[in-house]
Structure 1
C-alpha cells in the first residue's frame, strides 16, 4: 500500500470514529440516533465536499434529525463538530473529551435535582401513608421481558424458556408460480370452465379463475457459539429450538434450518428436530466441536454459501445471523461472503446481543464489514427483543420501528 493510500485510510478511520462520537454527543442531548442513521450519514458524506460546512450539515440534518424540537441541540452539537479552523482538520477532530464533560454536567444536574426531590418528599411522607399505595408500573413478567439474558438464573431462566416456547413465529408470505382456484384471480381456468359448462348445456356462463399460490418463507438461522457469546449462546439455541417446534397447527414458517458456527460451520437441523427439548439441545451440544472457541465468521459463511446456499435459499428464505461481531478471521473474506449471502436470500438480519446496551457502538471489525450488507441490525438480549424480531418477520420489515433497515429497497 502506498503512503498516500495509507494516509487516506487513516483519515477515513479518524472521520468514522468522530462520526460515532458525534452520535454519542447527540444522544447526550436526548436526540436518539441509531447506528443505521450514522452509517447512512457516512454514505451521504461520500456525495458531498467535506470542505463545505453547509453541505455536510444539511446531509447530517436530513439523516439524523426527524423532529423539529431536536434542531436546537443538533445545531449546537454540529458547531462543536465543526470547530476546526481548517476544513481538513475535520477528519482529525476529537470529541471524546467534550462528550465526557457534557455527560458529567448532565449527571451532576440530575443528582442535584434528585436531592431536591428527596427533600420535598420528606415533608409529604405522612400524607402519602394515608393514601392507597400506587399500583405497580409493571408486573414481574414485564420486568422479566426486559431483563438481559446474561443476567438470568434459576427460576427466571426456566420462565424465559417457557415463554419462548409459547411464542408464535410467522414469516411473511411469498407468491409462488403455482396456481390455485381463486374467485378473484387474474387467469382464466379453461379446463374447469368447460367442465362446468357441461351442466349448463355447453354455455360458458360461469368463468372459473385461478390465482397465484402463496406460501410461508423458510427461515435459516446461523448462531455464533464462540467464547464471546457464551453468556447468550445456550439460551439462544433454546430460542432456535422454539422456532423449529411451533405449538400451533399453522407453523407460520415453511421450513427452519439451523446452523452453529465458531471456527467452523455445523448444521444442527437434524439434532434440533428431536421432540424432547433437553435431548435435542444435548444432541446439538454434542454435535458442536468448536463450542466456546474463536470466531471465523467469513470461513463459516463461505462454507454455507458453497455447500448450503443453493438448496436452502432458493425459495425466498430469510436469514438470521446471531453474533456479537467479534471475529479473528479474514475480514475481507467476511465482507465478500456477506455480500454474496445478501444477494442469495430474501432478507438478511443480523442479531447482536450487545446492541441492547445503550453505550454499544458497532466498531468491531466483523460488524463494520457486515453492516453494509445487512437489511436489519437488531438486538437479541431479552424477551422483548425477540418479540420485536417476531413482528419484523411477520411484516417483512415494512412497519416495525427501530428495525434498523438501511434502505427501503
Structure 2
C-alpha cells in the first residue's frame, strides 16, 4: 500500500498533518524519511484514534528509533498537536530565563525545533532592537558567544553555518617536539662555536656576540579516528570540519584521518579539498556505514593491524572521537578485546586523547562497559559538543607535557 492509498483512508486532514509533522522533525534534524511517513499512515489505520496516548505512541514508534531523539519528539508533539498558539510557544521557548515566571521551571530549549516550525517568523513576532539590547546587556551575551556554547545537536541551520565558519578561522595548535637537528637561536641556548668562529673571521678577529643554537622543533604528527555511527553522526560531521581546518593549517603536521562505524575507512585524501563542505560531503558519499552501527573493537583491531605501522609514529598524538558505547558487559570477549586494542594503540603513540560528546552531561559517569574498557588507556578525556570544547581541545594539543 502506497502513501496516497494510506492517506485516503484517514479522516479529514490527518494525513496531511502527519506528513507536515514528519517534515518538521526532519528539518529539526531527526532522520524521518518517506518510509517512516508511509509506515505511520499504515499504523494509524491499525491502531486507530481512540486516545491521544495511543496516537502519540504510534507516531513515536514509527518515526523515531533512538532514545536520544525522544526529547525532541516530545517537544515537537506537544507544540504541533496541542498548543493552539504555536508562535507564542516558540517565542516563549526562545526567551532567556530572566523573563520566565517566578517559581516556574523554564521550558526545554531546542532552537532547531523553533527554526523547523518557523523558518521565517513574521515581522510582528520579531523582538524589537531596543528590547533585544535590554535583555542581552545584563547577561553579557553576544552573537559570537551563542554558537560557542551551543551544543552541536541543538544548533539551528544558521548557527551550524556560523560554527563551521568559526572552525575554519581557528588557528592550528600543535605540540612542538624537539629534534636532533639544531638551528640558530637569538635567545639562550647552547654555544655554537663554529658560527662564533666564522663571525670572528668576518669581524677582524673580534667576537662581538656569542652565537648560540637550539634544537629544531617540529609539530607532532596527528592521527584522527572518528566514530560515524548513528549516535555520533552529527558530532562527527562537525569534528571532521575541525580536522579539515587542522590539516589545512600552515603550521600543521601531516594529519592522517580515519572514520569507523562497522568498518574502518581512510579519508585523508578526501579531506585535502580546500572547501570543507565538499570534503565532508565526499567523505559522507565514500563511506558505506555512515549513521549505522558501531564495532569499535573490530575497527581498532583493523587500524592496529593494517595502518598503525604506516601512519602512526612513536611521537604522534591520536584523537579518538567516539562515545564508547560498545555492547556487552565488562567480562564479555568483545569488551576484553576492546581493552586489548586500546592498550596496543596507546603504546604505539605518544599520547591518546579521547573526545567524548557524552561529557556534556553534568551527571556523566563511566558506567558503560565500553567506556570502562577504554578509559584506563587514554591520557586525556575531553568533551566535544560545542566550539568552546574544541578550543579546550586546541589547548590540550598545544601542551608539551602528557596530560
For Structure 1 versus Structure 2, the TM-score category normalised by the shorter chain is: 0.5 to 0.7
Q: Secondary structure at the match of 1:348?
A: strand
Change (3 A) 1:378 1:271: same
CA positional deviation for 1:194: 4.4
Alignment match, 2:260: 261
Q: Deviation string for 1:5-39 (max 9, x for gaps)? A: xxxxxxxxxxxxxxxxxxxxxxxxxxxxxxxxxxx
Alignment match, 1:15: none
TM-score (norm 1): 0.59
For the pair 1:350 / 2:351, whether they are aligned, the reply is no
Measure the CA separation in 2 of the matches of 1:223 and 1:371.
Answer: 17
Contact 1:218–1:254 (8 Å) recurs in 2:
yes
For the pair 1:294 / 2:297, whether they are aligned, the reply is no
Q: Deviation string for 1:229-287 (max 9, x for gaps)? A: 133222222222222223xxxx3322211110112211111000011223212221222
Structural RMSD (CA): 2.9
Q: Secondary structure at the match of 1:330?
A: helix
Measure the CA separation in 2 of the matches of 1:341 and 1:152.
Answer: 34
Q: How does 1:6-405 map to 2 (within 5 A)?
A: 115=103, 133=134, 135-137=137-139, 138-183=141-186, 187-199=190-202, 208-246=211-249, 251-314=250-313, 316-328=315-327, 330-396=334-400
Figure out how many residues of one structure are paired with residues of the other and give that number: 269
Change (3 A) 1:340 1:207: same
Q: Secondary structure at the match of 2:362?
A: coil
Measure the CA separation in 2 of the matches of 1:308 and 1:185.
Answer: 41
TM-score (norm 2): 0.60
CA positional deviation for 1:311: 3.8
Contact 2:221–2:313 (8 Å) recurs in 1:
no
Q: Deviation string for 1:42-68 (max 9, x for gaps)? A: xxxxxxxxxxxxxxxxxxxxxxxxxxx
Change (3 A) 1:202 1:272: same
CA positional deviation for 1:228: 2.1
Contact 1:218–1:315 (8 Å) recurs in 2:
no
**Gaps in structure 2 of 5+ consecutive residues:** 1-100, 105-132, 328-332
Q: Deviation string for 1:154-178 (max 9, x for gaps)? A: 2121111111111122112111111
CA positional deviation for 1:385: 1.0
